[in-house]
Amino acid sequence: MTNHSPNTGSETETTASEAKAANTMWGGRFASGPAEAMERINPSIDFDRRFWREDILGSKAHAEMLVAQGILTAADGAAISKGLDEIWGEIESGTFTFSRALEDIHLNVENRLREKIGDAAGRLHTGRSRNDQVATDMKLWARGATDALDAELKALQKALIDQAEANVATIMPGFTHLQVAQPITFGHHLLAYAEMMGRDRSRLADCRKRLNESPLGAAALAGTPYPIDRDRTAASLGFDRPAANSLDAVSDRDFAMELAAAAGICAVHLSRLAEELVIWTSQQFRFVKLSDAFTTGSSIMPQKKNADAAELVRGKTGRVLGAFTALTVVMKGLPMAYGKDMQEDKEPLFDAVDTLGLCIQATTGMIADLESNPEAMRSAVERGFPTATDLADWLVSALGMPFRDAHHVTGRIVKLAEERGCGLADLDLDDMKAVHQGIDRRVYDVLSVEASVRARTSYGGTAPDRVAEQVAAARARFLTP
| CA–CA distance, 269 with 275 (Å, rounded to integer) | 10
* Phi/psi of residue 268, nearest 5 degrees: -65, -40
Cα–Cα distance, 24 to 17 (Å, whole number): 11
The CA distance from 77 to 88, in Å, is 16
Torsion angle of C-alpha atoms 174, 175, 179, 183, degrees rounded to 10: -20
The one catalytic residue in 298, 372, 407, 452 is 298
Contact between 128 and 62 under an 8 Å Cβ cutoff? The reply is yes
Mark out the alpha helices in 118-229 (DSSP H runs). Answer: 120-123, 130-166, 186-211
Contact status, residue 335 vs residue 128, Cβ threshold 8 Å: no
d(CA 469, CA 456): 13
CA gap 181, 160 in Å, rounded:
23
- Fill in the DSSP letter of residue 296: B
Q: Is 62 a catalytic residue?
A: no
Please, are residues 9 and 94 in contact by the beta-carbon 8 Å criterion?
A: yes
Beta carbons within 10 angstroms of residue 201's beta carbon: 22
Backbone angles phi, psi at 175, to 5 degrees: -115, 145
> What's the alpha-carbon Rg for the chain, to the nearest Å?
31
Please state, in angstroms and rounded to a whole number, the distance separating the CA atoms of residues 234 and 239.
5
> Could you count the other beta carbons within 10 Å of the beta carbon of residue 441?
8
Q: Which of 174, 25, 166, 193 is nearest to 104 (CA)?
A: 25
Backbone CA torsion sign across 257, 218, 48, 342 = negative
Catalytic residue among 177, 202, 436, 448: 177
Q: What is the largest CA-CA distance in the chain?
A: 101
- Using DSSP, state whether 242 is helix, strand or coil: strand
If one counts every other C-beta atom within 10 angstroms of the C-beta of residue 331, the result is 19
Q: Which 3 state secondary structure label does DSSP give 104?
A: coil
**Contact criterion met (CB below 8 Å) for 60 and 78:** no
* Coil/strand/helix, residue 338: coil
Known catalytic residue at 251:
no
Whether residue 48 contacts residue 342, with contact meaning beta carbons closer than 8 Å, is answered with no
Q: In this structure, is the dihedral angle defined by the CA atoms of residues 100, 106, 107 and 113, taken in order, positive or negative?
A: positive
Which residues are catalytic, by number? 177, 298
